[in-house]
A and B are shown apart, each in its own frame.
Chain A
Amino acid sequence: MSKIAKLFRWHKKVEIKEGDKVLDTVYVRLVGDAEFQEAKNLSLTRSKALRIKLRNPETDEYKASFSDLETLTRDELLMGITFGEIADYRDEALLQMPEKEIPPLPDSPSLEEQENYEEMVRARQMERAESLTKYIEKRADERKAELSKIEDIGKLREMYTHSIINLKCSEEFTKSFREYQIYKGTFKDAKFQELAFDSFEEYSQCSSRLKDMLLTAYVSLELTGEELKN
């Protein structure tokens, strides 16, 4: 399916099934700008709240995440720190290796020129994805080498905690961001007038199986950031 066709495929009917039996039918659509922004604000609030809890050693959230902190080996701490920083390496890679400008097709291109052009665009995209992966792996190795010079294990534990808190907050942000969009994008009717869930809490308490079905449907309608830009 071409990108333009996918862009206009922004809603779908979803049958909630138990085996072959259809239990209910809902209609999922991509949310508009206002709901998208609402989802962002709510996710930032939740991520901030989690960060506050994870920074307090008295909370259950801290205990659940860091109860084994004192028993972790140096290698495990290094792995944890770099694992938590992978999103940073990815952002760094995107900044260091901006997408190269693709020369435009000549005027009135022949069919063969168009075919070759498409092939060249695909090859460039593959090449870029490989370069980004290599950059991230190299950066993680460099970071591990850098961290292995730190002798103070207390310092490593502090860095590990910081890195894992960032990772968990980032996961919380992504989860809430996605779930709020699905809540606001799931309707009882095909005209998208009546939300299928009375509240976000109601959606949040649904079975994970139902949430997975709606997530699959919602994600299938989306285009990635790179697809939207190009």
Chain B
Amino acid sequence: MGIWRIVKDLKFPLHRSLLELSVSEYPHTINYVIKRRMQIDSYLELPEDKRPPRSIWDKPSELEEWFDRVFSDGSKQTEFSLPVKEDEIER
């Protein structure tokens, strides 16, 4: 984790062996680790009580349920209102 953060913040090349490659040519293993790292970083940016537990990181449906639960106030939104000022409408 430390290495990834340093590389990202300083915009260092990830590794000298990758210097001549475009990101689309990176080995799939390295791409996987980068995406995984970004996923974990995004969880760590959340307040502690909203971070999903590690046990569900690889379970998309449980993750979705988790985020629905921790980011909702318990009620489902059933209608939207779009404030429109009539005098501002172009005719």
Contact = CB atoms under 8 A, between A and B. Distances in A.
Bound pair (A, B)? yes
Interface of A: 4, 7-8, 10-11, 29-36, 98-101, 191-192, 221-223, 228-229
Interface of B: 3, 15, 17-18, 20, 24-33, 36, 53-55, 58
B38 to A, nearest CB: 14
Nearest to A30: B27
A191 B17 CA distance: 11
Contacts of A100: 55
A10 B17 contact: yes
Q: Is chain A's binding surface mostly helix, strand, loop or mixed?
A: loop
Given A32-B26, A222-B29, A228-B29, 12 more contacts: A7-B29, A7-B33, A8-B15, A30-B28, A30-B29, A32-B25, A32-B27, A32-B31, A33-B31, A35-B28, A99-B54, A100-B55
Contacts of B30: 7-8, 10
Contacts of A228: 29, 32-33, 36
Given A4-B3, A191-B20, A229-B36, A10 B55 contact: no
A10 B20 contact: no
A191 B21 CA distance: 10
24 contacts: A4-B3, A8-B15, A8-B18, A8-B30, A10-B30, A29-B27, A30-B29, A32-B25, A32-B26, A32-B31, A33-B24, A33-B26, A33-B28, A33-B31, A34-B24, A98-B55, A100-B55, A101-B53, A191-B20, A192-B25, A228-B29, A228-B32, A228-B36, A229-B58
Contacts of A223: 29
